[in-house]
Amino acid sequence: MIDRRETLVAMVAAFGASAFAPLARAVAYQPNPVINTGSPAPVFNAAQRALVAALSERVIPTTDTPGAITAGVPDYIEHMLGDWAIDDERATIFGGLAAIDARSMADYRVPAVKATAAQQDALLTLAMNDKLPGATDFFPAFKQLVLTGYYTSEVGITKEREYLPVPGEYDGAYPYAKVKRIFSS
């Protein structure tokens, strides 16, 4: 069975000191809280939820493996913001979404959720390069939420990576040529 908390600990360790605070807070919380496994408490309005889904899919698109939407990343982000974020941290995400939407309206005359994939990529690139007023700190936080949501999901662990449950069998002569994806456990 995949333990999402252990995988989350590993993801936060990989991000180090720059981990988005709700991720670090969720990992560090002791004793383990009762986790809401149902629908996330509503944090976003419908337009924000659609934009989070669209932008998540631009960060991890569907290719030969499932993308962010299939992995449930938008719901994960809503869970993290609803259960673990404080107002300032939510404001980082909300401000970034609003800035991206405003820039899309100014540049493309359509809401960001209706922009083409190339236009959404350009908007995310602006945010990534800190060239989008009102989106300071948005991209690193959003990217961490997307990556952590994806790689701690069942889809990310079993479809993107080669799932090898631990303890697994030991094969000291496993041929490297047979390794097609990074192993996760």
pLDDT tens for each residue of 125-154: 999 999 999 888 999 999 999 999 999 998
Enumerate the β-bridge partners of residue 184: 163
Can you read off the two tokens belonging to residue 49?
């939820």
Q: Indicate the helix (H) or strand (E) that contains 162.
A: strand 162-163
Domain count, the chain: 1
Query: Rounded to an integer, what distance in angstroms lies between the CA atom of residue 82 and that of residue 44?
Result: 9
CA distances to 6, 68, 134, 182 from 154, in Å: 13, 12, 34, 15
Query: Rounded to an integer, what distance in angstroms lies between the CA atom of residue 166 and that of residue 168?
Result: 5
Give the Cβ contact number of residue 4 at 10 Å: 16
pTM of the shown model: 0.74
End-to-end CA distance of the chain: 10
Per-residue pLDDT, 183 = 63
Local mean pLDDT, 10-residue blocks, the chain (185 residues)? 58 60 64 60 92 97 94 93 84 95 97 97 95 90 94 87 69 77 64
